[in-house]
Amino acid sequence: MNGGICLQADVLVLGGGPAGSTAALNLAPHARVLLADKRAATGSRIGESLPAAAGRLLRDMGLEAAFLAQGHLPCQHTRSTWGSAAALEQDAMRNLDGHGWHLERDRFDAWLLEVAQQRGAAVLTDSRLVGAQWEEGAEPHWRLELMRQGRALAVEARAVIDASGRNSSFSRHAGSQRHAGDKLVCGWLLGRDGAAASNRGCSVGASSELHAETEGWWYTSALPGGRRLLAFYTDADLAAAQAARVPALLLARAASVPAIAALLQMQATAADEYGFCAANSAALSSASGQAWLAVGDAALAFDPLSSQGLFNALYTGLAGAEALHRHLYGDSTALLDYQDEIGRIQRAYAAHRDIWYGMERRWPGSPFWQRRHS
């Protein structure tokens, strides 16, 4: 890595999503933190639900009041057809933590990044990792090369947090291998819904729906402003994945599922937001190493059926910050302890995922369900 500007930091965080921002905002009061994000700005993201238990994490980080003030739509009610054609309904009143939230992800992500900056983290947008190497010496450190707005930029950091999402870009440079657990993909549509716009009862806007079908499963929720999120999950190599790639085909397939068709008054328009992305489970061979660790999807990517992706981002961001703080102050066991915690999370997640998929046995001849029952 040659010449040019070289920045120095105690910790370089690679990634400005919820996991990276959470790690940065917790470390910034105690260390020089530089956060580099490949996006030029936080953009539109598919909305996700945040479980009620996340409120405890936000409270621990001093963020609960500011989060509640944003007015994200509460998730009071869940309805599903899973394991049976009969609908199962669950009310948040039964949860000791109360209700969860349907998030407006672009606003949520931007807020966490802003808090990290307010607490002292410096932020570089439009920055992409090109290379990394460990350098010994009187003060051992990582030396990383970034490309920012087409120009090379070097950073020296005592430690690195990989929050680069499913790419795990730094962890792979550091020698860790990423292992995919399945082939799950998601096609999603965020658009105008006549049913939501007509506001057929306040409970509609506060509910989420989960419905299994022959080659996968559906998630949908009504959002403020008469909009609806519709998402279909299947395996990348199945014929159903083609429908997930095209909004009109996605809606046509949704109309063939009775529980979904009864909800929708959507038509594909040019104003809709649409995406197709990987949604598979994945994990690193090691989520920590020599003065580095991975958080969020970079460490563990969860099947969205778990509804734990964002909770995991916040939890590992906080746990990773605590582990690196211990490491910077001479605790030689901190990073190993963090790796053990990631292993515990992975085992618990896998057990719960297998239980949930095991409950659906209506299509024994379907490759999608056969793979999840084997």
* Assigned token pair, 309: 């992706």
Measure the CA–CA gap between 132 and 156, rounded to whole angstroms: 10
Report which of 327, 37, 1 is spatially closest to residue 155, judged by C-alpha positions: 1
Instruction: Write down the pLDDT at residue 99.
Output: 87
The partner residues of 222 in beta bridges, in order of sequence, read 228
Instruction: Write down the pLDDT at residue 41.
Output: 62
Residue 217: CB atoms within 10 A of its CB come to 23
CA angle 351, 355, 357 (to 5 degrees): 120
* Assigned token pair, 218: 């559906």
The gap between the terminal CA atoms of the chain, to the nearest Å, is 48
* Assigned token pair, 240: 């159903």
Per-residue pLDDT of the chain (374 residues; tens, 9 = 90+): 455 679 999 999 999 999 999 999 999 999 999 999 998 765 556 667 899 999 999 999 999 999 999 988 888 888 999 999 999 988 776 777 788 888 888 899 999 999 999 999 999 999 999 999 999 989 999 999 999 988 999 999 999 999 999 999 999 999 999 999 999 999 999 888 776 555 443 434 457 899 999 999 999 987 777 788 899 999 999 999 998 999 989 999 999 999 888 888 776 676 678 999 999 999 999 999 999 999 999 999 999 999 899 999 999 999 999 999 999 999 999 999 999 999 999 999 999 999 999 999 999 999 999 999 98
Instruction: Write down the pLDDT at residue 1.
Output: 46
Instruction: Write down the pLDDT at residue 44.
Output: 57
Instruction: Write down the pLDDT at residue 14.
Output: 98
Number of alpha carbons in the 13 Å side-chain half-sphere of residue 33: 30
Instruction: Write down the pLDDT at residue 200.
Output: 44
pTM of the predicted model over 0.85 = yes
Q: What are the backbone angles phi and psi of residue 204, rounded to the nearest 5°?
A: -60, -45
Q: What are the backbone angles phi and psi of residue 317, rounded to the nearest 5°?
A: -60, -45
Instruction: Write down the pLDDT at residue 225.
Output: 74
